[in-house]
Amino acid sequence: MSASPRTTDYRKLASAAAKTIYTWDTRTSSYSDVYSQLRNWWNVLPDGSNPLTVLVQEFEATGINAGTYASLVGQQAHRTAAVQSLRCDFELAKVRERPAPWAGLHVCTVSLRVLDQTSSSRNIYTAPVSVMMNCPPADTAPQDHCVMVGFYAAANRIVY
């Protein structure tokens, strides 16, 4: 997993975040490593509206938690993801209906082609993830780049 890119291009950040959310490798990283690297991407807002409990809940919605990760270690399991499509802001009907509450908050829904592999099997599927980024000119954003302030992987929370 890589560090969050320092960019004001929220589309680039959304794509990188979505791939990171769905990428892990039991052969080279522990669950704690994967979680802490993803945690480093998540920027908690000053009002606490995006608590870390949401990060845990949504990460588990990708089909992985500490227990399942531990059981996959012996199978040399790993997951990779590639962006298939990206829609942001007013390209999304739900955002048109309920626009962002402040300038600089962006929402993108990324469709990923995900490959789950173990030593004995391969599974390819498509998974959507909605990523929220806080960018300048928002008062709560860094002056020179965007930060991820949330993502949704649970099917009932995806923004279409």
Distance CA 2, CA 112 (A): 18
pTM of the model: 0.95
Amino acid letter, 23: T
Shortest CA distance to 22 belongs to which of 73, 58, 74?
58
pLDDT at 15 (0 to 100)? 98
Is the distance from CB of 4 to CB of 16 less than 8 angstroms?
yes
Q: Is a pLDDT exceeding 60 seen at residue 72?
A: yes
Q: Is a pLDDT exceeding 80 seen at residue 70?
A: yes
In the chain, the domains with their CATH numbers are 10-157 (3.10.450.230)
How far is CA 123 from its chain centroid? 20
Q: Is a pLDDT exceeding 70 seen at residue 98?
A: yes
> In this structure, how many other beta carbons lie within 10 angstroms of the beta carbon of residue 84?
13
Q: What is the mean pLDDT of residues 28-49?
A: 96
pLDDT at 67 (0 to 100)? 96
